Every structure is written in structure tokens, then in C-alpha cells.
Amino acid sequence: MNTRVLNSLSLLTAFTLVVLLDSCSSVTVVRTREMKAVGDNVKKDVVAQLKLQTESMRKEIDSLQIENARLQKRLIAEVATLSSRVNSQADDLSSRQEEILYRLDLLVNASSKPIKRVVVDKREAGSTGAPSADSVQAAVDEDISADSELEKLYSNARADFHKSEYKLAYDEFKQAYEKAKTGDLAENALYWMGLCLTETQQADKAALVFGRILEQFPQGKKTCVVLLKLAQTAETAGKKDEQIQLLERLTAQPQCRESNEAYKAIELLDQLKK
């Protein structure tokens, strides 16, 4: 009897344990599913948050790139404007320096010429037919007056150029050139005619005027700067071969070898031939 009861109790206990284990297993499976579901939700939330942050960062980067491009364009424009102003001021200073040097040359030449006095005996003049002192003095005064008028015309042209009255200055320089025809003043007048055309965006006509300087004054004082300006004109027109030829011609000129234009030409040739 006791043995049967014990066996029954053992079986009941075993059955209960089996039921309990099965229940625990079911609970564990449910808990595992719930935890997995929670993990999936958390993962989805994290992915969503990361996606939002990525989109926000991308928009911010795009905005920064646009702002950077705008600032670069503005900087380029400001640098170009500043460069233009510096070049304009440099040209103005150069022209003023050239005018001062030209005036000094005139003063030096004038001071080096001896003053001649012409004394004519009126009685001898009347008997020999030689010009009288009055007529000689009148001729001298006429020459001085002509030179003074030419100088005044040239000075007025320079003043009008610095006032940006390029059309008027061109006409005045042309008149000065036609009156002088030869010498430093004629060469300078031609040079400034070319500058007037350059300032009015007439590069082709300016090149013709500069070319005339090289033809008429091959050993003139403007040869170096004229060759450099013609090379710059060729560069603007995209004529690289012509630009190189002009720069090489500049460096080959004896009077240009120690000039600033020659140093600039050498630098440009090194860049062009790389």
C-alpha cells in the first residue's frame, strides 16, 4: 500500500515538474519574442534617428558648399577689382614718371645748348643783302614760339589723358606727332596715342600704332614697353606663338636687356615654354 502511494506521488510529482517546465519554456519563448520585438523597435528608431541626422548634416553641408562658392566668387571679383585699380594706378604713376623724365631731358638738353648771339651791322646788311638783326630775331622768336606751342599741345594732351578724356587726348597727341614728326616728342606722342586706343578698348588699332613706333623708332626709348604691350595684346587675343615671338624679340633688344620689361618677358617665357 505504501509502495503504491509512493509511486503515485512520484508520478504526480514528475507530471507536475513536466507541466511546470513546459509552462516555463512557454513563458521563456514569449519573453524572448517580446524582447526581440522590443529590440527590433529600438533598432528601427535608431535607424530612423540616424537617417534624420544624416539628412540634416547633408543639408547643412550643401548649404555650406553653396555659401563657400558664393564667397569664392565674391573674393575673385574683389581681387579682380583690386588688381584693376592697382594696375590703373601703376600705369598712372608710370605715365607721370615718364612725363617728369621727359621734362628733365628737355631741361638738360636746353641747358647744354650754348646761347648764340647774332650781331648784324645794319649798314653791312644793307650793302651785302644779309638779313637784318630784326629779321634774324624774328626768325628765332618764331622757332621758340613754335616749340612752345608744341610743348603746350603735348602737355594739354597728357592732362586730358589723366582726366580720362581719351578721345580728346588722342586728337591732341596726333596733332603733336604730325607737327613734330621726328624725335622723342614724336615717339612719345605715338605711344600715348596707342594708350588712348587701349583705354577705349580698341586693341587692334592700338597694336597698329605701337607697330608704327617700332618701324619709325626701332632703337627708340619706347621699344621695350611697346614690345611688352604688343605681347600682352597677343596674349589677350589667344595668339600664343605671336606672344612668344614678341617676348623673345624684346629680350633680344640691346637697349632692353637690363629693363624691367625684359625681366618680365623672361618670366613669361619660362611659364609659356613649360
- pLDDT at residue number 114: 43
- pLDDT at residue number 51: 82
Closest C-alpha among 144, 219, 226 to residue 190: 226
- pLDDT at residue number 134: 42
Going by C-beta distance under 8 Å and a sequence separation of 6 or more, which residues neighbour residue 223? 213, 214, 217, 253, 255, 256
Question: Tens of pLDDT along the chain (274 residues)?
Answer: 567 666 666 766 766 766 666 666 666 766 777 777 777 777 777 788 888 888 888 888 888 888 877 777 666 555 444 544 554 455 556 555 655 655 555 554 445 444 333 333 434 434 444 444 443 333 333 333 447 788 899 999 999 999 999 999 999 999 999 999 889 999 999 999 999 999 999 999 999 999 999 999 988 999 999 999 999 999 998 999 999 999 999 999 998 988 899 999 999 999 888 7
- Residue 199, judged by CB atoms within 10 A of its CB (0-12, 13-18, 19+), counts as middle
Residue with cell 606672344: 243
- Tell me the residue length of the chain: 274
Going by C-beta distance under 8 Å and a sequence separation of 6 or more, which residues neighbour residue 262? 224, 250, 251, 253, 256
- pLDDT at residue number 34: 72
For the question of whether the overall pTM of this predicted structure is more than 0.85, the answer is no
Q: Note whether 158 and 132 are within 8 A (CB).
A: no
What does the DSSP assignment read for 220-245?
STTHHHHHHHHHHHHHHTT-HHHHHH
- pLDDT at residue number 274: 74
C-alpha cell at 50: 540616424
Q: What angle do CA 82, 88, 91 make, to 5 degrees?
A: 140
C-alpha cell at 233: 595684346
